[in-house]
Structure 1
Amino acid sequence: MQPQIQPKHKLSNKNANDFQVWWRLMRPHTLTAAFVPVLIGTALAFLDTSIDIPLFLIMLLACLLIQAATNMINEYFDYKRGLDHAESVGIGGTIVRDGIKPKFILNLAFSFFGFATLLGVYICMNSSWWLALVGTICMAVGYLYTGGPFPIAYTPFGELASGFFMGLIIILISFFIQTGTVTSTSILVSIPIMILVGAINLSNNIRDLDGDKENGRKTLAILIGRNNAIKFLAANFIFSYVWTVVLAFTGVAPLWSLLVLLSIPKAIQATKGFIGKSEPIQMMPAMKATAQTNTIFGFLLSIGIFLSYYI
């Protein structure tokens, strides 16, 4: 394990008040992984019932808070374990570059969890208290992803955990709070989003493969090797598009769902961006393109679902 690298300078008022510092801490490129599933779940519910807008907005805010808190916890524990340093690529860098105290970041993350919990109480009051259990599990996974004695991020199950909880579960909760039920259609439509959210995690692990290996991680990318991980990423993209096409032509999802095919060039860009690259900085555009694929795919799917109601 690398020795911890202390912040190069103390926190100043300028740093504390700098919006860009806090914006980077939340890792905004990952927040669409929370926004897109809420939008899709709500769009699916729109086909069956009128939408409770305040409930939608509160669900959206709660998910964004949980995702942001998870990112902060990641920042904290990666620093404490000596993984992050000033030259690290793809991190918020608020500790090692901006001098924010690690304990402050952890407390801020817990504050976000607390606020999300309060929002969750409102959601439960307007749907079902069973969601309190589901929400608690989601926050626990957010913490245990990089926290605790056996972080999920250090195992081959990071993609599965992120995809399942940030993709499938959020879609189903968003659908349930509007309709009071979960249908086979909502489950089937959520699967490609689950895959694409997991792909964001996979792209991150492909980028960080060498550093993760040095620090004892056993991610999926490490276990199967970089080349196979890139092929698996491409397979995830292909599966997501084929699955959606099948759903559209079998009548499970609206034909307008085929709008997602417009995002294929971004998926191709993401895959090609990893080929032949070995330095993390070289793979940043590919990782960004992977996240953008999920965002564009999700928005197009939502638009297609809404259009099917009116056309």
Structure 2
Amino acid sequence: MQSQLQHNSSPTVEKASWKVWWQLTRPHTLTAAFAPVLLGTALAIENSGRIHWGMFLSMLVASLFIQAATNMFNEYYDFKRGLDNENSVGIGGAIVRHGIQPKTVLNLAFSLYGISVLLGAYISISTSWWVAAVGVVSLAAGYLYTGGPLPIAYTPFGELVSGFFMGILIILISFYIQTGTVTSTSVLVSFPSFLLVGAILLANNIRDLDGDKEFGRKTLAILLGRTGAIRLLAGMFALSYIWVIGLIFAGVVSPWLAIVALSIPSAIKATKGFIGNSNPLQMMPAMAATAKTNTIFGLLLSVGIFLSLL
């Protein structure tokens, strides 16, 4: 209680700079929303030869806002459960360091959800109301990730859920709203994104392993142990590249997509950054490299698709 009173007596919301609000979105995670939207749209252009810019921009903004809101729910509920403090690594810190009221963070998250709903309504009216149904499920998953009686983030299924909703599903929706269909190629190409978005969460859980264990979480990293989790992370990186190579040899995608190999150094840096480390602060560069790998990989896949059209 004393700690919470100290937080509430910190600098007021009015004094918080734009940097505080920007960090609250956890910008290093926003690429998990941007790259899949771009990739799904690139696949759609390859399929139909055209792009609806209104759909693309609406999907992009909605995805970014949902990801940012999910991060804010994380900030709010981790604070409420006593997991975050002034020394916590990898958080926005708006509540515990800058005195922003928890209710303000929660309301902002719901506001971003509200804007996403409006954008989703526009997309649904222009395409299909099935998109709205999928969107509602996605919003619920984002909230229940750290909200609700049993947060998904506290279970071994966090990587699976985040990889599906922020990887595969975003790509397929982005593809569908441009083409009106979903193809086997779009599903197959989306699989590495599923792995790499899940890898971002796995990297986060490796960094927070000791603290999460103290609070009774049962994340995949805790169940596997630090060494096992790092091996899984390396395996997810490796499978992502092997998958693309397999698609190329099977004739499903153009050889131009082999350009994703340029992101391998980032994946190696991420993996090595966790080996032999148990200090959360020392593992932050590895966390950043994991998110960077997802971004570069997705962008290079998109570039490869565009090059194949030349």
Shorter-chain TM-score bucket reads over 0.9
Is 1:134 matched with 2:134? yes
- Aligned letter for 2:30? L
Task: Rate the CA distance shift 1:18–1:191 in 2: closer, same or farther, 3 A.
Answer: same
The verdict on how the C-alpha distance between 1:197 and 1:42 changes in structure 2, with shifts beyond 3 A counting, is same
> Which runs of no fewer than 5 residues in structure 1 stay unpaired?
none
Equivalent residues in 2 for 1:193-208, closer than 5 Å: 193-208=193-208
SS at match of 2:309: helix
Give the structure 2 partner of residue 117 of structure 1. Answer: 117
Q: In the alignment, is residue 150 of structure 1 matched against residue 173 of structure 2?
A: no
- 1:240 maps to what in 2? 240
1:106 is matched with which residue? 106
TM-aligned CA deviation for residue 3 of structure 1:
8.9
TM-score (norm 1): 0.97
Match of 1:280, SS state, is coil
The one-letter amino acid of 1:170's match is: I
Structure 1 counterpart SS, 2:281 = helix
Asked whether 1:18 is paired with 2:17, we answer: yes
- Aligned partners of 2:174, 2:58: CA distance in 1, in Å? 10
Distance 1:77 1:309, change over 3 A: same
Q: Is the 8 A contact 1:84 1:96 kept in 2?
A: yes
Q: What SS is found at the alignment partner of 1:282?
A: coil
Aligned pairs (5 A) from 1:1-311: 5-8=4-7, 10=9, 12=11, 16-49=15-48, 50-310=50-310
Alpha-carbon contact 1:4-1:79 (below 8 Å) kept: no
- One-letter identity of the residue aligned with 2:141: V
Alpha-carbon distance in 2 for matches of 1:4, 1:168: 41
Between the aligned partners of 1:14 and 1:218, the Cα distance in structure 2 is 34
The offset of 1:10, in angstroms, is 3.6
Identical aligned residues as a percent: 64
Q: CA deviation at 1:255?
A: 1.0
Q: 1:139 to 1:184 in 2, by over 3 A?
A: same
Distance in 2 (CA, whole Å) between partners of 1:172 and 1:251 is: 20
Instruction: Answer yes or no: is the 8 Å Cα contact 1:3–1:82 preserved in 2.
Output: no
For the residue of structure 2 that corresponds to 1:265, the secondary structure is: helix
Deviation at 1:300, TM superposition (A): 0.5
Measure, in 2, the Cα distance between the counterparts of 1:167 and 1:16. Answer: 37
- Structure 2 Cα separation of the partners of residues 215 and 223 of structure 1: 14
Quote how far apart the aligned CAs of 1:8 are.
3.6
| In structure 2, C-alpha distance between the alignment counterparts of 1:241 and 1:117, rounded to whole Å | 35
Distance 2:237 2:276 in 1: 19
Shift of 1:254: 1.4
> Which deviations, in whole Å up to 9, do the C-alpha atoms of 1:59-109 show, x marking residues without a partner?
100000100000000000000000000000000000000000000110110
Asked whether the equivalents of residues 154 and 218 of structure 1 are also in contact (C-alpha less than 8 Å), the reply is yes
Whole-angstrom distance in 2 between the partners of 1:14 and 1:129? 39
- Judged with a 3 Å threshold, the aligned counterparts in structure 2 of structure 1 residues 276 and 15 are, in CA distance, closer, same or farther, namely farther
Deviation per residue, 1:167-194 (Å, 9 max, x gap): 0000000000000000000000000011
Give the number of equivalent residue pairs: 309
RMSD: 1.4
**1:241-297 CA distances to partner (integer Å, 9 max, x unpaired)?**
000011112111111110000000000000000000011001000010000000010
Alpha-carbon distance between aligned partners in 2 of 1:101 and 1:230, rounded to the nearest angstrom:
36
Q: Is the 8 A contact 2:13 2:99 kept in 1?
A: no
Cα shift readout 1:164-221 (whole Å, capped 9, x = no counterpart): 0000000000000000000000000000011000000000000000000000000000
Q: Does structure 1 retain, via aligned residues, the 8 Å contact 2:55–2:123?
A: yes
Quick one: distance in 2 between partners of 1:197 and 1:286?
15
Q: Is the 8 A contact 2:8 2:100 kept in 1?
A: no
Indicate the SS of the match to 2:47. coil
Change (3 A) 1:262 1:162: same
> Aligned to 1:156, what secondary structure does the other structure show?
coil
Shift of 1:54: 1.3
Aligned residues of 1:234 and 1:271 also touching (Cα < 8 A): yes
How far does the alpha carbon of each residue in 1:10-37 deviate from its partner, in whole angstroms, 9 at most, with x for none?
Answer: 4656754511000000000000000000
